[in-house]
Structure 1
Amino acid sequence: NKVSGSNAYVKSCRRDGVTRWSDGNTVSGCDGGEAFVCNSQMPWAINDQLAYGFAAASIPGLTEQQRCCACYKLDFTSGPVVGKSIIVQVVNSGPDVNPNQFDLQIPGGGVGIRNACSSQWNAPSDGWGQRYGGVSSRQDCYSLPAAIRDGCLFRFDWFKGADNPTMVYSKVTCPAELVARTECSRSD
């Protein structure tokens, strides 16, 4: 269904990760359905200091409808990514995401509470690596399907293997590159 305050809903894909569903009523792969994250919805570097990506988020005072499809700039303040920023589009509420937390959608980053990777990619029951945290090295990314491997490598290349770095965030206008991958933008 259409997200309130937006022009649409975050587009999902068929099991192949490429063919998009034409409506938002297809049941999620997490619930035994056929809607999955599209392969294009993974992070990428713009340059050494800026990246784009997608996230689940919990923002106090905002409902799921109010934060879905919105974009936020995360400025990292600790760890190997201090001084770097990523602009993310919120594409999921994440039932296990804490307030003021952004759970970056990174292939091989851990499937968390809901695992559709097993049915989409024939991944192990806990995904690749640990259920929470994912793979532990760049080399482990090569166990992921080629179609999503670059997203995993991003974690160890641009993101320097950072593990839950602290950050400050601010709402920003969504870059066209993110909107093109989800076909969802907000009017507020």
Structure 2
Amino acid sequence: MLATISLLIASYALSAQAANAGVTTRYWDCCKTSCAWNGKATVTHAVTTCDKSNNPLSDVNATSGCDGGPAFACADNAPIVISDTLAYGFAAVNLSGQSEADWCCSCYKLTFTSGPVIGQTLIVQASNTGGDVGGAQFDLMIPGGGVGAFPAGCQSQYGSLTGWGAQYGGVSSRDQCSNLPAALQAGCQFRFDWFKGADNPNVNWEKVTCPASLAARSGCIRTAEYVEPSPRFRSSPEHD
């Protein structure tokens, strides 16, 4: 009887883990992200884009740099280290049974379950939807991570003909990060420092409330998560 109960418990645990199991890949194609367009989800503001020099653009309807326009992914969409075991970043997301209305600007806690980063946590905000991204997949935005199917963006923004390294996978060593523009080098080095050179590790994932500092980088908060500032901290004429 005890053996049967143990098997049932083990089976339940495996099922629960499998329900939230996911995979990761990596990319940086410099393109305007899908969630940067108006109307993709109920949010306070679409994801901010930047011009070629990484200055924020106010026009949410600006055409993507991958289509000859002026809008690109901002350099500060690269991952940032919070501690030895926690980092924040952005990702292209695809979750089975959901759509952009569900995931654009939502945040997900990714706990790595394989590779050298096992046990470490990356909280990502969904800023993009990859046409070549499968279900329960998080395509992490890491400079030098490969341009994938869209090489035109980095060619237009930085004049890079290859997007640095392999089209899929990107650069293969930390030293190669020095080939990237200065604004992207720290983000590239992240993969070989905090991320320990991990190659598409698996994760367990769960949806979480976006950290304020992460949402501040994208400028995008899902309306359901927005908290009106206290009147005490609002601007007033005598303090403007």
TM-score (norm 1): 0.96
Aligned match of 2:44 = 7
Q: Quote the Cα distance in structure 1 between the aligned partners of 2:98 and 2:112.
A: 22
Aligned counterpart, 1:90:
126
Range 19-28 or range 79-88, more displaced: 19-28
Deviates more, 1:85-94 or 1:63-72: 63-72
1:158 — aligned with what? 194
Structure 1 residue 23: deviation in Å? Answer: 2.5
Q: Are 2:163 and 2:170, in contact at CA under 8 Å, matched by a contact in 1?
A: yes
In the other structure, the counterpart of 1:36 is: 72
Checking the alignment, whether the CA contact within 8 Å between 1:2 and 1:8 is kept in structure 2 is no
TM-score for the superposition, normalised by structure 2: 0.76
| 1:67-112 Cα distance to aligned partner (Å, 9 max, x none) | 1111000000000000001000011001111111000000000011
2-side partners of 1:88 and 1:4: how far apart?
17
Q: Which of 159, 165, 173 lines up with 1:129 in the alignment? A: 165
Which of 58, 67, 81 is equivalent to 2:117? 81
- d(CA) in 1 for partners of 2:45, 2:193: 33
Give the superposition deviation at 1:39.
1.2
Residue number in structure 1 paired with 2:220: 184
Distance 1:142 1:117 in 2: 16
Asked if residue 104 in structure 1 is aligned to residue 140 in structure 2, the reply is yes
Name the CA distance, whole Å, in 2 between partners of 1:23 and 1:146: 26
Q: What is the letter of the counterpart of residue 13 of structure 1?
A: C
Q: CA deviation at 1:8?
A: 1.1
Please name the residue that 2:208 is paired with. Answer: 172
Q: Which aligned runs of 4 or more in structure 1 are off by greater than 4 angstroms? A: none
When the two structures are aligned, how many residues end up with a matched partner?
186
Q: Which amino acid aligns with 2:76?
A: S
Deviation at 1:2, TM superposition (A): 4.0
Radius of gyration: which is bigger? 2
TM-superposed deviation, 1:11? 0.6
Using the alignment, how far apart are the partners of 1:83 and 1:184 within structure 2? 28
Q: Distance in 2 between matches of 1:65 and 1:28?
A: 20
What are the Cα deviations for residues 122-176 of structure 1, in whole angstroms up to 9, with x where unaligned? 112x310001100000001010011110000000000001011010110000001
Conserved in 1, the CA contact under 8 Å of 2:40 and 2:100? no
DSSP-derived class of the 1:103 partner = strand
Kindly state the Cα deviation for residue 65 of structure 1 after the two structures are TM-superposed: 2.4
Higher helix proportion: 2
**Separation (CA, whole Å) in 2 of partners of 1:4 and 1:49:** 31
Whole-Å separation in 1 of the counterparts to 2:45 and 2:142: 23
In the alignment, is residue 120 of structure 1 matched against residue 169 of structure 2? Answer: no
The runs of 5 or more residues in structure 2 that have no matched partner are 1-37, 225-240
SS in 1 for 2:196: coil
| RMSD, matched Cα | 0.9
Task: Give the Cα–Cα distance (whole angstroms) in 2 for the partners of residues 111 and 177 of structure 1.
Answer: 26
CA distance 1:22–1:2, shift in 2 (3 Å)? farther
